[in-house]
Amino acid sequence: MINVGIVGASGYTGAELARILCNHPEVRITAATSRQHAGRPLSEIFPSLRGKVDIICENLSVAELCDKADFFFTAVPHKTAMDLVPGLLAAGKKVVDLSADFRLRDVLVYEEWYQAHSSSQFLNEATYGLPELYRNRISGSRLVANPGCYPTSIILGLAPLLKAGAIEAQTIIADSKSGTSGAGRVAQTGSLFCEVHDGFKPYKVGRAHRHTPEIEQELTVLAGAEVRISFTPHLLPISRGILSTVYASLAPGFDREKIDTLYRNHYQNEPFVRLLGEDSFPSTQFVRGSNFCDISYKIDPATNRIIVMSAIDNVVKGASGQAVQNMNLMYGLAETTGLSMVPLFP
Amino acid sequence: MINVGIVGASGYTGAELARILCNHPEVRITAATSRQHAGRPLSEIFPSLRGKVDIICENLSVAELCDKADFFFTAVPHKTAMDLVPGLLAAGKKVVDLSADFRLRDVLVYEEWYQAHSSSQFLNEATYGLPELYRNRISGSRLVANPGCYPTSIILGLAPLLKAGAIEAQTIIADSKSGTSGAGRVAQTGSLFCEVHDGFKPYKVGRAHRHTPEIEQELTVLAGAEVRISFTPHLLPISRGILSTVYASLAPGFDREKIDTLYRNHYQNEPFVRLLGEDSFPSTQFVRGSNFCDISYKIDPATNRIIVMSAIDNVVKGASGQAVQNMNLMYGLAETTGLSMVPLFP
Amino acid sequence: MINVGIVGASGYTGAELARILCNHPEVRITAATSRQHAGRPLSEIFPSLRGKVDIICENLSVAELCDKADFFFTAVPHKTAMDLVPGLLAAGKKVVDLSADFRLRDVLVYEEWYQAHSSSQFLNEATYGLPELYRNRISGSRLVANPGCYPTSIILGLAPLLKAGAIEAQTIIADSKSGTSGAGRVAQTGSLFCEVHDGFKPYKVGRAHRHTPEIEQELTVLAGAEVRISFTPHLLPISRGILSTVYASLAPGFDREKIDTLYRNHYQNEPFVRLLGEDSFPSTQFVRGSNFCDISYKIDPATNRIIVMSAIDNVVKGASGQAVQNMNLMYGLAETTGLSMVPLFP
Amino acid sequence: MINVGIVGASGYTGAELARILCNHPEVRITAATSRQHAGRPLSEIFPSLRGKVDIICENLSVAELCDKADFFFTAVPHKTAMDLVPGLLAAGKKVVDLSADFRLRDVLVYEEWYQAHSSSQFLNEATYGLPELYRNRISGSRLVANPGCYPTSIILGLAPLLKAGAIEAQTIIADSKSGTSGAGRVAQTGSLFCEVHDGFKPYKVGRAHRHTPEIEQELTVLAGAEVRISFTPHLLPISRGILSTVYASLAPGFDREKIDTLYRNHYQNEPFVRLLGEDSFPSTQFVRGSNFCDISYKIDPATNRIIVMSAIDNVVKGASGQAVQNMNLMYGLAETTGLSMVPLFP
């Protein structure tokens, strides 16, 4: 049994970790932290967990955390994570960090998009936790940077194409739409029910969203050459789910048949990637609550473009489910352990 | 391993049975029927099931069904069920019927509210499948009539009170609100997104809903005297969930403390009933996707009334989850087998 | 032209006043206040108003307010209103107050449910602004207390019955459901999209909601004897709309025909009350955005109860629309002026 | 007073025409047709219209129609319209057709995307009813083809750019998202509440949606050269609203300042186009129920692309509102007559 601590348990990703881990056969939740809710049972903050999770939220120092658990999910905001993780590692613990603090390998890029980095010495060591790309490195890591939700959906959609040179990398446009849980459990006017319900809007348009450099970093690795994309996030009036619609021009010599082969070879043994047929398109409601990433694509000969679509649950494959998948790899467990949830539809 | 057939797999309760059973450790789905979709994989009709359920829908005769499975969930409309079930029983199969056909013990009442009954000889044998009330009888049954969704929420809320004579039974008013999945996967104008979304309305007001006699039958048993209630169903713009707000006058001599004891004694060992604290009220979103029934109550001394509130997921505890709970009992399995789903929130 | 000031323009009722008044032929909005957003155009806070409303929000003293307008809607929280209104009246202005501060005639009741009252000398003078009951008194008033949203729906539903003694007043149970705009534009966790969406729950159960004494005050007047009710509010995952389902035992001698006559006589000339047929029930979506109150009722002979249902848009007939209706009366304008909005469906 | 007939009154666009026209000061609705609902008041089918619209639906021949009204909105499916319109014109009536039948000028293109055209002789005469582009021609027309909803949003967003040659026309990618009312009031499984709610998906991807040739026809006129675009429609879990996010590469020599001037010059006198500031983006909820089209754009120097965003209410500016705007022009009325509805938010 792994003794696991959830640092930052009172946010949506923290609660989702608890939801998944309470049914995980190899895990015991032995610590859960919340500054705001210290002393309260986590199941009081999230009554959905009643009868399943009985941990009490505490406000714990790093030393206290290290006494309570061997493995940590840090589900705290960026900046907070970078100050916390070194202490955990120094005590010999393993960490999956769900913040942005260890995702970017280049400290200059990090500091351009976020703020000064206090633990940049770990940027090279940290593994980008997308198992479909970095499975082997994750298995041997003590620090895994769990990917952002938008990047997960876009990178998984494009990886087979970029690795094979099947698209013109400079033509990539990613139009992404996310459910409101992505904004976190933060009391702000813009996330109120009445502001979001029955509406739809773009935000942080034109190279303004902090997931941009993360996406470009990984696409650049895949393409073997620097990639710049257009990325537009939108806010959906749903709780969970990201759907990315990605456009790119096909490189010469690639047709539907070749593209099919690329995707099949790349993903046929992946437990959490589901390739749909030619005229079946992903829907967020068909991955809701699960760790699946559904992908399909369509080629338009008239414009020579491929349109790749991918759907994930941003709280699961885009955050807490992927984090558990990473933990499984780091402990040599079957990658799917505790992640058998079937999408909840309707 | 139990070989299980889902008769009527292409409705929402059929799909939910598949969602639950594909993770059930003692079950193999060996048949799934759909007249409309014969020949198609169930996971094509419900893409949420891709990669988890690989059964093909078929249009099967009773004889063919009996060749394929040992246990059947009949998730078909009333009338269809009564024509089908006798053949399955005659072949030595066990059945949980999710229709209304075997819920009412009095054939005259059934025929007043529905239509002529072709298999009324089974009405006495069938067990009303509310495990919290009839656990022992269910264990020994070959035919279990799975309760309606509204009745489940109302009966579980009132059982401890009626058994103890704590309320005046003739004062019961049940104001219930249900998600739209209760209307089934039927293409009708009234269930269209644009008709239901961002709205709310009562329907079948004033002794018009067919769950009325079912509720009254069970409340009458509990009270030991004939009970007539007011029951008003309403349509919520949500997919899943029923919340019932039930009002009754307290009988003399009952106060909060005594009522607390009644509920605690009645439900403390129930795996799927969660009693909330005095000022914590149930919410449909905290039972979504799970087999839980959340209950709380409040006494208003000024009017001498108790207000009992209960919440279930109508597709799970109100249908398919409860059906699996019944199957577990009929096979001597742990009652919670395959039903460990944690509510999905947000 | 009436020069109108909206005090508290940055809440939902303030914005709704602006939406209605900008098309009102006899009104000019000459002041709009917001402490938080002083200096910003109201149409920047509510981009829906762009091109229709060009007023700038200001933080104004009473004296400054009095310089700018002749008529005021005070759409501020209770307590704030009672400190503000006397100054406006002293300057000879007319006021419709949308807070709770002048709705209760008995200062002791007010202080039991709210806090100390600093302007109780106006409680007798203030007219309860339900035009269907107090039209004449409103016309002659300089201070109108605009009713609460829940009270509007419940009182309008019951008025014809109570006045005629057609129901047993001590049996009234009001089960009400409100859209989330009723919680105001306040950044709080409980009103976040992810907390409300796809869910439903009761709150302030058992004589805990502050609208209770207001409802009972008016029902008592109608019945001519003290009335105590059970009132349970619920939170709907919709933006706008209240539906109340109200139960009561019929008094001897009243049947459908007599009840029909009561309602018809009471409401046939009311421009904003729509009586539906016997088996047509109100829906919030059919009054959305309008000043209508839709009412129907059903008698259940088996329990001798009448079930009265009423639907309003809580932001319009339950707040800003009714406030404009009151203003029209106070100025001798046609009561429907500026209130011709047709419900927006779908 | 214009006597107006609504042909096809029982769909969402028909009901919306009634909602708008019942408050239009120069119009009287003298006919409303519905085959399915003949004999029923329109306000029974759409209870939102109770008390505002008292027309009875009828099943009328062309001759009967011509007796009843002088102006017709044909809100019927394509194919039905083309068989109906010639008779109305022959009788000297004016028509705004809301179907696709007269939008495409090239009969071959029409027949490639739809079916054989029985009235192609009117294709040249019909005016494409986008007032912002064709105001003068509309004024003199007797047959106006009301634009599709997606085309309206995309064409209005791009018109200033294409006319000025500010973008590379062959790089246009339009990623559009529509509310479910766009699917019409048709009882089909895919439009059920439970299928759409809390979800999001693309459909008709890759040159498969019939609005593609309509969009390309108008963009080609604007650009003065043949334009081919990528257009991907998506289904939003909202009732009303379209938001299009359109990407294109900037032509050499155009920067933010020049683009601002283009848009300002093009739209500054348009009553229904609202240009937002640089970091203010359109939201469907801020145009809901109104005839506005909100537009903004952002330039990303790193990729040399402009991202244009536009939002409309698909039932108003995307259908019935624009149809009334066209009628106003055809009768020499002020273009905004009857269209003063302020967006309904929240």
CATH superfamily membership of D2-125: NAD(P)-binding Rossmann-like Domain (3.40.50.720)
CA dist., res. C84 & res. C195, Å (int):
35
Mean local confidence (pLDDT), A122-134: 98
Do D317 and D343 touch, CB atoms closer than 8 A?
no
Query: Residues in chain C, how many?
Result: 346
Nearest CA in chain D to C44: D280
**CA-wise closest residue to D235 among D166, D119, D150, D134:** D150
pLDDT digits (tens, 9 = 90+) for A272-296: 999 998 899 999 999 999 999 999 9
Confidence of residue A204 (pLDDT cuts 50, 70, 90): very high
Is the pLDDT at C346 greater than 90, yes or no?
yes
Query: Which CATH class name applies to A150-314?
Result: alpha beta
Most B-contacting residue of C242, C244, C284, C303 (CB-CB within 10 A), to test interface: C303
Taking an 8 Å cut-off on Cβ atoms, the answer to whether B195 and D193 are in contact is yes
CA dist., res. A38 & res. A20, Å (int):
22
Q: What is the pLDDT of residue C114?
A: 97
Mean local confidence (pLDDT), A26-45: 98
Please write down the long-range contacts of B41-44, taking CB distance under 8 Å and 24 or more positions apart: B42/B9, B42/B10, B42/B15, B42/B18
Taking an 8 Å cut-off on Cβ atoms, the answer to whether B199 and C303 are in contact is no
Which one is catalytic: C22, C57, C66, C149?
A: C149
Nearest CA in chain C to D47: C286
Supply B131's token pair: 């495990």
* Sheet arrangement for strand D305-312: D201-202, D230-235, D173-178, D242-249, D305-312, D293-300, D273-275
Confidence of residue D42 (pLDDT cuts 50, 70, 90): very high
Confidence of residue D282 (pLDDT cuts 50, 70, 90): very high
Residues of D in contact with C49 (CB under 8 A): 342-343
| Percentage of chain C modeled with pLDDT above 70 | 100
- Judged by phi (left if over 0) then psi (alpha if -120 to 50, else beta), residue C62 lies in alpha
pLDDT digits (tens, 9 = 90+) for B186-221: 999 999 999 999 999 999 999 999 999 999 999 999
Residues of D in contact with C346 (CB under 8 A): 12, 181, 239-240, 315
pLDDT digits (tens, 9 = 90+) for C183-225: 999 999 999 999 999 999 999 999 999 999 999 999 999 999 9
- Judged by phi (left if over 0) then psi (alpha if -120 to 50, else beta), residue B143 lies in beta
For chain A, the average pLDDT equals 98
Amino acid at B64: E
pTM over 0.90: yes
Task: Give Rg (Cα) of chain D.
Answer: 20
Residues of chain D within CATH 3.40.50.720 domain(s) are 2-125
| Percentage of chain D modeled with pLDDT above 90 | 99
A and D: number of Cβ contacts within 8 A: 145
Beta B2-7 vs D273-275: how paired, if at all? unpaired
Residues of D in contact with C287 (CB under 8 A): 48
**CA-wise closest residue to C345 among B240, D320, D133:** D320
Question: What are chain C's partners, defined as 3 or more CB pairs within 8 angstroms?
Answer: A, B, D
* Averaged pLDDT in 10-residue chunks for chain B of 346 residues: 98 98 98 97 98 98 98 97 98 98 98 97 97 98 98 98 98 98 97 98 97 98 98 98 98 97 98 95 98 98 98 98 98 98 98
**CA-wise closest residue to B333 among B74, B131, B32:** B131
Q: What is the pLDDT of residue D246?
A: 98
Supply A157's token pair: 């959609």
Do C156 and C295 touch, CB atoms closer than 8 A?
yes
Taking an 8 Å cut-off on Cβ atoms, the answer to whether D340 and C23 are in contact is yes
Is the pLDDT at C278 greater than 90, yes or no?
no
Query: What are the residues facing B96 on neighbouring strands?
Result: B73, B144
Q: What is the pLDDT of residue A15?
A: 98
CA dist., res. A144 & res. C274, Å (int):
62
Do A79 and A101 touch, CB atoms closer than 8 A?
yes
Residues of A in contact with B12 (CB under 8 A): 346
For chain C, the average pLDDT equals 98
Residues of D in contact with A302 (CB under 8 A): 207, 228
pLDDT digits (tens, 9 = 90+) for D218-259: 999 999 999 999 999 999 999 999 999 999 999 999 999 999
Mean local confidence (pLDDT), C112-140: 98
Mean local confidence (pLDDT), D124-128: 97
CA dist., res. B207 & res. B221, Å (int):
20
Q: What are φ and ψ of residue D97, in 5° steps?
A: -100, 125
Do A183 and A279 touch, CB atoms closer than 8 A?
no
Taking an 8 Å cut-off on Cβ atoms, the answer to whether B193 and D188 are in contact is no
CA dist., res. C174 & res. C180, Å (int):
19
| A223 alpha-carbon distance from chain centroid | 21
Q: Which of C185, C188, C239 sits opposite A197 (nearest CB)?
A: C239
Confidence of residue A229 (pLDDT cuts 50, 70, 90): very high
Question: Helix or strand or coil: residue B134?
Answer: helix
Q: Which of B12, B189, B239 sits opposite D185 (nearest CB)?
A: B189
Taking an 8 Å cut-off on Cβ atoms, the answer to whether A288 and D199 are in contact is yes
What is the interface pTM, i.e. ipTM, of the complex? 0.97
Residues of C in contact with B173 (CB under 8 A): 173, 247, 305
D→C interface, C-beta within 8 Å:
12, 15, 19, 22-23, 46-52, 181, 197-198, 239-240, 274, 276, 280, 283, 285-290, 292, 294, 315, 340-346
**CA-wise closest residue to B310 among B299, B296, B300, B322:** B296
Q: What is the pLDDT of residue A157?
A: 98
Residue partners of C220: CB distance under 8 A and separation at least 6: C226, C227
For residue A31, give how far its alpha carbon lies from the nearest alpha carbon of chain C (Å).
Answer: 24
Alpha carbon of C27 to those of A88, C7, C18, C85, D168: distances in Å?
65, 15, 11, 21, 49
Instruction: Specify the DSSP class assigned to residue B190.
Output: G
